[in-house]
């Protein structure tokens, strides 16, 4: 760190200027670059991108309206609703009209790669499903030290990122191997020759969905009522939600309380057919199918593991571009029911395997998470500056 400290002492010992992102980058709308068909095939060469976690959705042969990017002329793709973003230095198309393409303004004395790293330090989570860049995100300020300082920070973080990516790739490969092993044994344990098969609705006391309070009423949100959305569902245990609503929002919507230990199936969007179990009473939006299990007939965790194992088959019943399913399809989905004692034996095995494979508090996922946090710590330190007094 001595080199960066020397540069700061030389160029900006008294602090640096903070500037709004809108002063530094321009944006382009995605309309000309949206893919015409989602019939992706790995034999095609043009990647179709999203700014979310999946990044590359697939490959297309649509050669009209390509967004051209390169190492010499990179771009940041930014999701206008979630504010997630990616650095891109290759040609692509996009799937969503929510994507904005960001590039450095030609007349600013600023490294675009530096801006990218500085954006990574912005701590902001949208509370509403509304467009974010123009009205909110572009107004955030980042520190803009002199160019030699920016370039040294970029050099350090690029080196750190390269090493981090290499180590993380090794860990991810090992984790993926464990997940495949887990999936294999789960499928073996949940394959039966002579057991009763019933529909999901036959083992439930209650099946319901939820609702969404009006987004125009700010007093309906940020209350004391945990409110689950489908993006929180990922074959996991829900012990807190990323959003809350108020008692008033609950009264003025179709949202309703469900008790702890329900199996919750996502019905819409990217998480359609994924499942979770809630460890706390909560409410959900309308995209969740909530199953209160009759525990004289089925073990809750057994139902969770069964539906997790059936994810691909249940998702295949979906309709539309996002393979949305509905409550009717969940209710009528078949489940094999061995005796309760055998269900619990299977659950005890799968829960231990699940914890080893997926729990961020143990095993390889914890190591991956620790490395990410270490990187974020050093990145945030490098990008922390006193603001220059005016």
Q: What is the pLDDT of residues 63-77, one digit of tens each?
A: 999 999 999 999 999
Q: Which residues pair with 263 in a beta bridge?
A: 277, 291
Backbone angles phi, psi at 49, to 5 degrees: -110, 155
CB-CB neighbours of 217 under 10 Å? 13
In a domain, 64, yes or no: yes
Q: For residues 167 and 340, which has the higher predicted lDDT (pLDDT)?
A: 340
Q: Can you read off the two tokens belonging to residue 185?
A: 């044994």
Q: For residue 360, what pLDDT band results from cuts at 50, 70 and 90?
A: low
When mean pLDDT is compared over 182-186, 329-333, 350-354, 383-387, the highest value belongs to 329-333
Dihedral sign of CA atoms 129, 131, 135, 136 in order:
positive
Residue 148 CB burial class (10 angstroms; 0-12, 13-18, ≥19): middle
Q: For residue 168, what pLDDT band results from cuts at 50, 70 and 90?
A: confident
Q: What is the pLDDT of residues 91-141, one digit of tens each?
A: 999 988 999 999 999 999 899 999 999 999 999 988 888 899 999 999 999
Q: Is the pLDDT of residue 309 over 90?
A: yes
Q: For residue 361, what pLDDT band results from cuts at 50, 70 and 90?
A: low
Q: Are residues 133 and 85 in the same domain?
A: yes
Q: For residues 362 and 336, which has the higher predicted lDDT (pLDDT)?
A: 336
Q: Are residues 68 and 81 in the same domain?
A: yes
**Whats the size of the chain, residue-wise?**
390
The predicted structure's pLDDT at residue 92: 97
Q: Is the pLDDT of residue 333 over 70?
A: yes
Lowest mean pLDDT among 233-237, 318-322, 363-367, 378-382: 363-367
**Distances 73 to 65, 106, 116, 159, 160 between C-alpha atoms, Å:** 17, 12, 14, 20, 22
Q: Can you read off the two tokens belonging to residue 28?
A: 């382009």
In a domain, 186, yes or no: no
In a domain, 180, yes or no: no
Q: For residues 359 and 294, which has the higher predicted lDDT (pLDDT)?
A: 294
Q: 75-79 and 85-88: which strand pairing?
A: antiparallel
| Exposure b/e, 91-116, CB count within 10 A at least 16 = b | ebbbbbebbbbbbbeeeeebbbbbbb
Determine the average pLDDT of the residues in 276-292. Answer: 97
Q: What share of the chain has pLDDT > 70, as a percent?
A: 98
Q: Is the pTM of this model over 0.75?
A: no
Q: Are residues 57 and 129 in the same domain?
A: yes
Q: What is the pLDDT of residues 186-228, one digit of tens each?
A: 999 999 988 999 999 999 999 999 999 998 899 999 999 999 9
Q: Are residues 7 and 22 in the same domain?
A: no
The predicted structure's pLDDT at residue 166: 86
The predicted structure's pLDDT at residue 301: 97
Q: Can you read off the two tokens belonging to residue 110?
A: 């600023």
CB 320 within 8 A of CB 289: no
- Please provide the average confidence, as pLDDT, over all residues in the chain: 92
Determine the average pLDDT of the residues in 135-162. Answer: 95
| Cα 161 from Cα 169, distance rounded (Å) | 12
The predicted structure's pLDDT at residue 207: 97
Q: Are residues 27 and 136 in the same domain?
A: yes
Q: Are residues 323 and 280 in the same domain?
A: yes
In a domain, 255, yes or no: yes
DSSP state of 282: B
In a domain, 182, yes or no: no
Q: Are residues 160 and 76 in the same domain?
A: no
The predicted structure's pLDDT at residue 362: 67
Determine the average pLDDT of the residues in 20-31. Answer: 97
Q: Can you read off the two tokens belonging to residue 92?
A: 């692509």
Its domain, for residue 83, covers 17-143
Of 127, 143, 159, which residue constitutes the final position of a domain?
143
CATH number at residue 63: 3.90.220.20
In a domain, 188, yes or no: no
| Exposure b/e, 4-40, CB count within 10 A at least 16 = b | beebbeeebeeebeeeebbebbebeebeebbbeeeeb
| Cα 75 from Cα 93, distance rounded (Å) | 12
In a domain, 178, yes or no: no
The predicted structure's pLDDT at residue 277: 98
The predicted structure's pLDDT at residue 371: 84
Q: Are residues 103 and 209 in the same domain?
A: no
Lowest mean pLDDT among 1-5, 28-32, 246-250: 1-5
Q: Is the pLDDT of residue 272 over 60?
A: yes
Number of separate domains in the chain: 3
Alpha helices in the chain (DSSP H): 2-11, 21-24, 112-119, 147-189, 247-251, 300-309, 311-315, 327-331, 340-358, 363-382
Determine the average pLDDT of the residues in 271-292. Answer: 96
CB 332 within 8 A of CB 326: no
Q: What share of the chain has pLDDT > 90, as a percent?
A: 77
Q: Are residues 320 and 276 in the same domain?
A: yes
Q: Are residues 1 and 108 in the same domain?
A: no
CB-CB neighbours of 141 under 10 Å? 15
Which residue is listed with tokens 């051209």? 68
The predicted structure's pLDDT at residue 164: 79
DSSP state of 15: -
CB 387 within 8 A of CB 16: yes
Q: Are residues 229 and 246 in the same domain?
A: yes
In a domain, 314, yes or no: yes
| Cα 78 from Cα 361, distance rounded (Å) | 31
Q: Are residues 12 and 49 in the same domain?
A: no
Q: Is the pLDDT of residue 365 over 80?
A: no
């Amino acid at each position: 760190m001595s080199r960066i400290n020397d540069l700061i002492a030389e160029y900006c010992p008294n602090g640096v200027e903070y500037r709004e992102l809108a002063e530094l980058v321009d944006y382009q709308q995605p309309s000309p670059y949206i893919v015409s068909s989602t019939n992706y095939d790995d034999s095609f060469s043009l990647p179709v991108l999203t700014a979310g976690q999946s990044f590359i959705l697939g490959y297309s042969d649509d050669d009209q309206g390509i967004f051209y990017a390169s190492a010499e002329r990179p771009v940041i793709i930014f999701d206008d609703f979630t504010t997630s973003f990616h650095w891109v230095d290759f040609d692509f198309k996009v799937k969503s009209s929510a994507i904005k393409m960001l590039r450095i303004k030609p007349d600013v004395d600023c490294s675009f790669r530096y801006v990218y790293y500085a954006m990574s330090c912005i701590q902001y989570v949208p509370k509403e499903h509304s467009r974010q860049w123009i009205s909110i995100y572009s107004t955030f300020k980042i520190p803009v030290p002199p160019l030699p300082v920016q370039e040294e920070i970029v050099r350090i973080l690029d080196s750190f990122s390269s090493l981090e990516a290499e180590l993380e790739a090794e860990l991810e490969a090992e984790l993926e191997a464990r997940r495949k092993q887990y999936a294999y044994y789960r499928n073996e344990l949940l394959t039966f020759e002579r057991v009763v098969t019933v529909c999901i609705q036959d083992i439930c006391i209650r099946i319901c969905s939820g609702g969404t309070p009006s987004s125009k009423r700010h007093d309906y949100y940020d209350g004391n009522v945990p409110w689950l959305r489908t993006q929180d569902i990922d074959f996991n245990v829900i012990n807190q939600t990323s959003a809350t609503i108020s008692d008033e929002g609950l009264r003025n919507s179709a949202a309703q309380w469900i008790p702890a230990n329900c199996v919750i199936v996502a019905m819409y969007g990217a998480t359609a057919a994924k499942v979770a179990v809630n460890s706390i009473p909560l409410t959900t939006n309308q995209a969740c199918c909530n199953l209160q299990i009759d525990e004289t007939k089925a073990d809750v965790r057994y139902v969770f593991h069964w539906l997790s194992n059936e994810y691909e088959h249940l998702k295949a019943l979906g309709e539309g571009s996002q393979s949305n399913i509905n409550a009717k399809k969940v209710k009528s989905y078949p489940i094999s029911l061995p005796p309760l004692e055998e269900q619990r034996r299977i659950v005890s095995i799968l829960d231990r395997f699940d914890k080893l494979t997926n729990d961020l508090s143990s095993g390889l996922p914890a190591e991956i998470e620790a490395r990410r946090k270490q990187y974020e710590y050093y990145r945030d330190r490098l990008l922390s500056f006193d603001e220059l007094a005016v």
